[in-house]
Amino acid sequence: MSAPTLPSALVDATRDDASLRRFLHGLPGVDQVGVEARATALATRSIKKSSKLWAIDTAISMVDLTTLEGADTHGKVRALTAKARRPDPDRPDTPQVAAVCVYPDLVATAVEGLKGTGIGIASVATAFPSGRSSRQVKLADVALAVESGATEVDMVIDRGAFLEGRYGEVFEEIQAIREASGRAHLKVILETGELVTYDNVRRASWLALLAGGDFIKTSTGKVSPAATLPVTHVMLQAVRDWFTATGELRGVKPAGGIRTTKDAIKYLVAVHEVAGEQWLTPELFRFGASSLLNDLLLQRRTQHDGHYSGPDYVAVD
């Protein structure tokens, strides 16, 4: 765990509820107009040819291939794992995705489907997506996921407690889940669409980093707006500032609503220019997405073949 290496100022920040509040409210504000203007300007970077191909492969390797429906079945998860192993059967050089993300009760199926691949198994636990349940239920949810073999836990924070200013409670809960996750990587979902302001996004990001989250993640995908470029900018700044303060590298995962290669590349440019080159790896940046992968595969084929092949040439799973 990261706590012992923290500089004393950061340790002091989490001493009690009042210090936590003082610390979070003492973070520099985020100017809405400014951050949105910067996000728009960066989105105009032109990526073509070899750099585009590199970006597509990098993006594929960062995808958390996700299915989070009430109608999820073992069959659906098996299909997804098959796709994760071989995203494009005609092109064996296509990189594998980073992880497959499912509900806790389906983790075992995913484990079986991904045996021997090294692909991560992520599971949304903690009464996903609303997080509205008791601590015991959330911990039991995490236990189910971890015991079934999940290597990554995607938890949701208690947005109600956060908006009520009960930061200590949110902090403690993240810590408890961190503990319960054991060796699994912890991604903390802030659900930025419900936090609304960029100031809140920055505070929630720091709260999650202080409590030991390995990743901060924008959204569940169930609330609109999900991931946006400016929100991701703020979170990338948070991990960069965290790195400056502690020397530790933590990751960012935008999730929900990223469907096209064009969009994914805009995020990669932001990772590159806001956080820095060292974040351009699946260890530190992920896309939470389901339909993005197919567009990446189609664009990859287009780059290699010189023409567009059409949606029937990639698997629908």
Partner 1 sequence: MPAFEYAPAPESRELANLKPSYRPFIDGEFTDGGGEPLKTVNPATEEVLAEVGTASEADVDTAVKAARNAFEKTWGPMPGSERAKYLFRIARLVQERSRELAVLETLDNGKPIRESRDSDLPLVAAHFFYHAGWADKLDYAGFGPDPKPLGVAGQIIPWNFPLLMLAWKIAPALATGNTVVLKPAETTPLTALVFGEICQQAGLPPGVVNILPGAGDVGARLVGHPGVDKIAFTGSTEVGKLIQRQVAGTPKRLTLELGGKAANVVFDDAPLDQAVEGIVNGIFFNQGHVCCAGSRLLAQESVVDELLDKLRYRISTLRLGDPLDKNTDIGAINSAEQLTKIRELADSGEAEGAQRWTSPCPVPDRGFFFAPTVFSGVHQSMRIAREEIFGPVLSVLTFRTPDEAVAKANNTPYGLSAGIWSEKGSRILWTANRLRAGVVWANTFNRFDPAAPFGGYQESGFGREGGRTGLEGYLDV
Q: Which residues are catalytic?
A: 154, 217, 253
Does residue 273 belong to the site contacting partner 1 (CB under 8 A)?
Answer: yes
The 3-state secondary structure of 109-140, one letter per residue: HHHHHCCCCCCEEEEECCCCCCCCCCHHHHHH
Interaxial angle between packed helices 229-246 and 198-210, expressed in degrees from 0 to 180 and rounded to the nearest 10? 40
Closest CA to 151 of 174, 195, 128, 120: 120
Q: What distance in Å separates the CA atoms of residue 183 and residue 1, rounded to the nearest whole number?
A: 10
Q: How many CB atoms lie within 10 A of CB 51?
A: 13
Contact pick of 2, 11, 19, 47 for partner 1 (by CB under 8 A): 47
Does residue 44 belong to the site contacting partner 1 (CB under 8 A)?
Answer: yes
Number of residues that bind partner 1 (CB under 8 A): 32
Does residue 247 belong to the site contacting partner 1 (CB under 8 A)?
Answer: no
Q: Which amino acid is at 18?
A: A
Look up residue 167 and give its DSSP letter.
H
Does residue 5 belong to the site contacting partner 1 (CB under 8 A)?
Answer: no
Contact pick of 38, 78, 86, 166 for partner 1 (by CB under 8 A): 38
Binding part of the chain for partner 1, among 51-59, 92-100, 117-125, 156-164 by CB under 8 A, reads: 51-59
Contact pick of 6, 55, 106, 314 for partner 1 (by CB under 8 A): 55
Does residue 9 belong to the site contacting partner 1 (CB under 8 A)?
Answer: no
Helices (H) and strands (E) in the chain, counts: 14, 8
Q: Mention every residue, 6+ apart, whose C-beta is less than 8 A from residue 306.
A: none
Q: What distance in Å separates the CA atoms of residue 234 and residue 211, rounded to the nearest whole number?
A: 18
Between 208 and 269, name the residue whose CB sits nearer to partner 1. 269
Does residue 93 belong to the site contacting partner 1 (CB under 8 A)?
Answer: no
State in angstroms the smallest separation of the CB of 275 from partner 1.
10
Contact pick of 4, 8, 9, 46 for partner 1 (by CB under 8 A): 46
Does residue 21 belong to the site contacting partner 1 (CB under 8 A)?
Answer: no
The binding track of 56-85 with respect to partner 1, each residue x by CB under 8 A or -, is --x---------------------------
Does residue 280 belong to the site contacting partner 1 (CB under 8 A)?
Answer: yes
Between 11 and 280, name the residue whose CB sits nearer to partner 1. 280
b/e map 85-121, b = 16+ CB within 10 Å: bebbeeeeebbbbbbbbbbbebbbbbbebbeeeebbb
Can you give the C-alpha Rg of the chain in angstroms? 19
Closest CA to 296 of 50, 45, 54, 60: 60
The binding track of 187-226 with respect to partner 1, each residue x by CB under 8 A or -, is ----------------------------------------
Q: Which residues bind partner 1 (CB under 8 A)?
A: 28-31, 33-35, 37-38, 44-52, 54-55, 58, 234, 237, 244, 268-269, 272-273, 276-277, 280-281
